[in-house]
Amino acid sequence: MKQRVQELHLILSVNFKANDKLNIALKYEHQTKIELKNKTAKDFTTGFQTDGTRITMFPDGAKKRLDLPSQIVVGATFKPIEKLMISTGYHMYLDKNADWAGREDELDGNSWEFALGLEYSLTDNLLASAGWLKTKSGASESYQSDLSYSLPSNTVGGGFEYKINDMINVNLAGSYTMYTEGEKNFDHDFAGTGLMMPVKETYDKDVWIVAVGVNFNFGAGK
């Protein structure tokens, strides 16, 4: 099964450099309509209608809205000393205003993130960094499902950047995200027999990320 879409996404931002130590930025991302269309070769049967017609999970040609919500971001960096930079940011996602095929009505509120980071110059060529990200989900219990769920989380990360020359930097970084366990209690129609059975689903996961990158600055020396 494939789902594809192409849309334009409006982003507006402004940056204010108060002085050599303090920098402040604001960003707004406009809500973007996303309508996904299924292209399904094989599907899962989830039940049958009264006339015997199959009910499938991803019907071929079916469309579903899953908008990108508006986003408001404020961020700042501060350099108390030459070798140290402190960065912070707050991100608000206006999820309840988006069209998620009705699932937005199952949100208790909008989701948000708060980030804090440190970057320190160990030498002229080597930088070390560390950061923390707190994410608060606005999803209610009824929103959650085994196919799509949203959980609060805390992420910690760190990395190094090595400057090979004025044109090339190499980066090595990693992060670990710890999600708060969630659950959903509901009644399930057992095998379509009308016998309702209590079910408890538990949602939890941890995520490790390791990344290596290379930055090229083609304007170096100009």
User: What would the pLDDT profile of 107-142 be if each residue is shown by its tens digit?
Assistant: 999 999 999 999 999 999 999 999 999 999 999 999
Note the pLDDT of residue 174: 98
**pTM of the complete model:** 0.84
Distance, in Å, from the CA atom of 14 to the CA atom of 109, rounded to the nearest integer, reads 27
The residues spanned by each domain of the chain are 1-31+66-214
Return the SS3 of 142. helix
Distance, in Å, from the CA atom of 116 to the CA atom of 130, rounded to the nearest integer, reads 9
SS (H, E, C) 24-41: EEEEEECCECCEEEEECC
Q: Is-contact 176 158, C-beta < 8 A? A: no
Q: Which residues contact 23 (CB under 8 A, 6 or more apart)?
A: 15, 16, 17, 76, 77, 78
Note the pLDDT of residue 222: 60
Return the SS3 of 192. helix
Q: What is the dihedral of CA 122, 114, 155, 204, to 10 degrees?
A: 180
Q: N- to C-terminal Cα distance for the chain?
A: 49
Residue matched to tokens 């440190």 = 118
Q: Is pLDDT above 70 for 59?
A: yes
Structure tokens at 144: 């959650």
Note the pLDDT of residue 221: 61
Note the pLDDT of residue 218: 87
Nearest alpha carbon to residue 154 among 175, 171, 169, 132: 132
CB atoms within 10 A of CB 102: 8
CATH class (in words) of the domain with range 1-31+66-214: mainly beta
